[in-house]
Amino acid sequence: MSDARVLDDAPWLRSGPAARVLKLLNGNGEEARVVGGAVRNALLNIPIGDIDIATTALPTEVIRRAKAAGIKSVPTGIDHGTVTLVVDAHPFEITTLREDTETFGRKAKVAFGRDWVVDAERRDFTINGLSVDAAGIVHDHVGGLDDIAARRVRFIGDPDQRISEDYLRILRFFRIHAAFGAGEPDRAGYLACIRSRAGLASLSAERMRMEMVKLMVADGAAGAVIAMADGGLLLPIFGGVAYTGPFASMIAAERALGLKPDAVRRLGALAVAVTEDARRVATRLRLSNAETKVLDSMGHRWWRLAGMDEAIARRRLYRLGADRYRDRLMLAWARAGDDANSTRWRELAVLPERWTAPKFPLRAADFTARGIAEGPALGQVLALAEDAWLAANFPLDKTALDAIADQTVTRFTRDHRP
């Protein structure tokens, strides 16, 4: 299959670092094209990220040409034909065309080639199998242009075979559909993912994390996650129950508040009901310590935030800090179901923007002056005084603070008599 069209709106092909790299690698019997996601995004009129380039030139020739042009080259994956060129601080992965000689998972044996069709057929999905040359001509050897037009994510060749080559393609199928597809997932690909779901157990936590984090924030995440749940694909990932309803509600809450999609917050809505869930998910996806702490905080008694008035909400905000307060509150909101009065939840969620918690004004000196000795007892008295200050709704005037200090010392002294 072969088709071509001209990519008109791509100034980065005519000038700038990418154009310079293409000019360097073209000519003298060699050809280079931009491949993969950059071509897909340009055709969909959405921002492009990294620009990857394929070439007929061998890695040694890529390095030779870069050196002659004064361009830095880094052999980032030279055994698989990949060299990174750095032009004006922009890195470009340059990969020599390849063809499989033996296929067994991610460790397929490859040989360098010069056939653009064979190289395209090695890729995962048709919309990722397109290439564009320096003149802006898009080359399609796998039916990607039709699938771009239909917003359809479809495996190249036999879906079962492509998945068996790398089971991460199951997650990539749903993630890329969520980001670039429309409607229901391609039926053949979907059924192949279900048939191969046991293969998810062979994936490393790091690789699953990479795809799941990207999936969480994609525009079509809600529909993709429901499809995964219906196909029995979430249990092998999380090792526990997935909550698609709260996940969709979390997305709606973020949008109602004008917040950017947050992958960890959405993971919390999808897979965390209690702190034990948070730790399990963090282990299975190898989350960072910071991400684990966020999930753990979200799962800690989130139900206590339901039905609270603003006075209680202020105390929660003071204790948790703005970010953890909002994340935990949003989990409670997402799980509220029929009780999700959006106006009331929204008011509680924006409390950090409406009100800034003051700092606790009493200090150790206020209590040593009242006869409390330094040491553990002083810390206990300060904690009791802070609780009393919160219960009194954060007073700052001296009379109220003196009363809190006096009452706290009296109470502590009474309760700790020999």
Q: What is the CA radius of gyration of the chain?
A: 29
CA distance 179 to 219: 6
The 8-class DSSP code of residue 27 comes to: B
Give pLDDT, residue 109: 64
Taking the C-alpha atoms of residue 190 and residue 133, their distance in angstroms, rounded to an integer, is 32
| pLDDT beyond 90 at 181 | yes
356: Cβ contacts below 8 Å, ≥ 6 apart: none
Average pLDDT over residues 194-200: 97
The reported pLDDT for the residue numbered 213 is: 97
Q: Return the pLDDT at 80.
A: 84
Give the E-state strand segments of 211-348 in sequence order. Answer: none
Long-range CB pairs of 136-140 (<8 Å, 24+ gap) are: 136/6, 136/7, 136/8, 136/10, 136/13, 137/4, 137/5, 137/6, 137/7, 138/4, 138/5, 138/6, 138/7, 138/39, 138/43, 139/2, 139/4, 139/33, 140/1, 140/2, 140/3, 140/4, 140/5
pLDDT the model gives residue 115: 93
The two tokens of residue 121 are 């057929």
Closest C-alpha among 225, 233, 224, 156 to residue 195: 233
Question: Is it the case that residue 179 has pLDDT exceeding 90?
Answer: yes
Mean pLDDT score, 111-139: 93
Output the pLDDT for position 121: 92
Stated pTM of the model: 0.88
* pLDDT value at residue 111: 85
Would you state the pLDDT for residue 415?
82
